[in-house]
A and B are shown apart, each in its own frame.
Chain A
Amino acid sequence: MREELLRIIEKNSRIDLKELAVILGVEEIDVVNEMAAMESEGIICGYHTLIDWEKTSIEKVSALIEVRVTPQRGQGFDRIAERIYKYPEVNAVYLISGGFDLLITLEGKSLKEVSAFVSDKLAPLESVLSTATHFILKKYKDHGTVLARQYEDLREKVSP
């Protein structure tokens, strides 16, 4: 049940508990217990809302920043990652394979604000060797959901 439950709430965290129990074919109390268990185990880390900010009048800029760093003796990348993820404007920090080490996603009100973060806070960090900032121009798909297009049912209305 765990895997199916996670699959469903990953897409729809607002689903009613009773409904969740019905579609999974279990009792409501089992769903409640399982979710509580997964929350305390740190499997479920939060319940978020997917927002297409483009459609609002709120100004937002997102960027992906590639960072090359020198790992520190005894602590590898963890310490520098921590220094970076503590900034509230940083959305995500990933350690990745390939030509650089950390990938950061960042949100700010304007290009200026994001640039200021990179030049004033990120780049000067001692173990940061270089950064490359990519601004996101348009989000086509996010969290497995296509933002650009409305679903249209093209099937015949009735068929055998």
Chain B
Amino acid sequence: MRNPLSERIVGIKPSGIRKFFDVVSEMPDAISLGIGEPDFDTPWHIRDEGIYSLEKGRTFYTSNSGLKELKVEICNYLCRRFDLEYDYQKEVIVTVGGSEAIDIALRAMIDPRDEVIIPQPSFVAYEPCAILANAVPVLLSLKAENEFRLTAQELEDAITEKTKVLILPFPNNPTGAIMERADLEAVAKVVLKHDLFVISDEIYAELSYKGKHVSIAQIPGMRERTVLINGFSKAYAMTGWRLGYTCAPADITEQMLKIHQFAIMCAPTTSQYAAVEALKNGDDDVAQMREQYNQRRRYLVYSFKQMGLPCFEPYGAFYIFPCIKEFGMSSEEFATRFLEEEKVAAVPGTAFGDCGEGFLRISYAQSMENLKIAVSRLEQFIGRLRAEQKQ
């Protein structure tokens, strides 16, 4: 029999998180700080709207690009929150989560051997999606001394004649880094100079703790070369509903829509009705969840400082990314020992790119009670490691 498998797909490494997941699953009583989704339930009025749409028998396909009502609300929302104007008819596609959006954006813009710059540490899907789109992924290592923000110089250094697309993953998973307006302006200059396009993954936009999030599409000259990705998973605690969207100039949207149309058909109808309710009446829920995350974030920043664990203050998402280099072991060893000895799971930074070595992703999408227990165990653990080192 011939080999049934594609070389390209076989060449892609499975997610580094998977291995860790299997270990943690064996420990039912472990506290997990490794979870990349909100600990809140979807607000009830949003769930209720989903249920109501089922009761009403709204169980059919929607148009390929999504319910008109939802696309209109998405445009209203982006205008209200970020001063961004999009045409709901030609520039918006409702996708199956932010994940599909990443895929169709890359596939719509890439020709074989085009280079895509992927700043890391970052979400696990960019590199494989780029490979699947026939692109050459160019990994750019973000640095702790810049608080894991992307600098103009770093971008400039990564650009070649073949560079076409920059992926901009902020607020960032796993570091919690954000890009403020001045950072974005500097990066935008380089993007314009080299005539690049940007896929801006802003799924954590609402979880920003230092003023309001700024989108690169707000920087003059950038809207026409940006695919903005956002969604409902993080802001509204709707991960399981699988709903995101892209906003992009009509010519890009038209091509993305073909992929979406043939591969997906349309995003789940129930989820789309629920999302209309989220955008119409969910601002307060988002604000309340953000405040809770912010309280936990302040608690962890303070606790790590007390423990003497080096860590920059993260202003976005729900992650904190402490440095564990002083203990002279790899992130994976550290995470494995921490799990085995203290029953607390955190994801090694290397799961998000090789440059995550020496760091740990800690998610605070976890109750304050559990965070407190986890912090006291971490304190014990590193106390023991420091004592071992002295011997």
Check B298–A25 contact: CB distance below 8 A: yes
Check B345–A158 contact: CB distance below 8 A: yes
The one of A7, A23, A158 in contact with B35, judged by C-beta atoms closer than 8 angstroms, is A158
Residues 137-160 of A, flagged 1 when their CB comes within 8 A of B and 0 if not, give 000000000000000010111111
Q: Assuming the A-B contacts A22-B302, A23-B299, A24-B298, are A157 and B345 also in contact, with contact meaning beta carbons closer than 8 angstroms in the complex?
A: yes
Check A155–B24 contact: CB distance below 8 A: no
Judge if B107 is at the interface, Cβ distance under 8 Å. no
Q: Assuming the A-B contacts A4-B291, A19-B299, A23-B299, are A160 and B36 also in contact, with contact meaning beta carbons closer than 8 angstroms in the complex?
A: yes
Q: Assuming the A-B contacts A157-B34, A160-B17, are A23 and B345 also in contact, with contact meaning beta carbons closer than 8 angstroms in the complex?
A: no
Cβ contacts under 8 Å, A158 to chain B:
17, 20-21, 24, 32, 34-35, 345, 347
Judge if B225 is at the interface, Cβ distance under 8 Å. no
Tell me the B12-68 residues at the A interface (CB within 8 Å).
Answer: 15, 17, 20-21, 24-25, 30, 32, 34-37, 39
Check A157–B298 contact: CB distance below 8 A: no
Check B36–A157 contact: CB distance below 8 A: no
Check A159–B299 contact: CB distance below 8 A: no
The one of A4, A19, A24, A160 in contact with B15, judged by C-beta atoms closer than 8 angstroms, is A160
Cβ contacts under 8 Å, B302 to chain A:
22
Q: How close is A62's CB to chain B, nearest CB, in angstroms? A: 26
Cβ contacts under 8 Å, A157 to chain B:
21, 24-25, 30, 32, 34-35, 345
Judge if B295 is at the interface, Cβ distance under 8 Å. yes
Judge if B213 is at the interface, Cβ distance under 8 Å. no
Q: Could you tell me which B residues sit within 8 Å of A by CB distance?
A: 15, 17, 20-21, 24-25, 30, 32, 34-37, 39, 123-125, 173, 291, 295-296, 298-299, 302, 345, 347, 351
5 inter-chain pairs at a CB distance below 8 angstroms, sorted by A residue, are A24-B295, A157-B345, A158-B35, A158-B345, A159-B37
Closest 10 pairs between A and B when the two form their complex, measured CB to CB = A23-B295, A158-B34, A158-B21, A157-B24, A159-B36, A22-B302, A160-B124, A157-B32, A25-B298, A23-B299
Q: Could you tell me which A residues sit within 8 Å of B by CB distance?
A: 4, 7-8, 19, 22-25, 153, 155-160
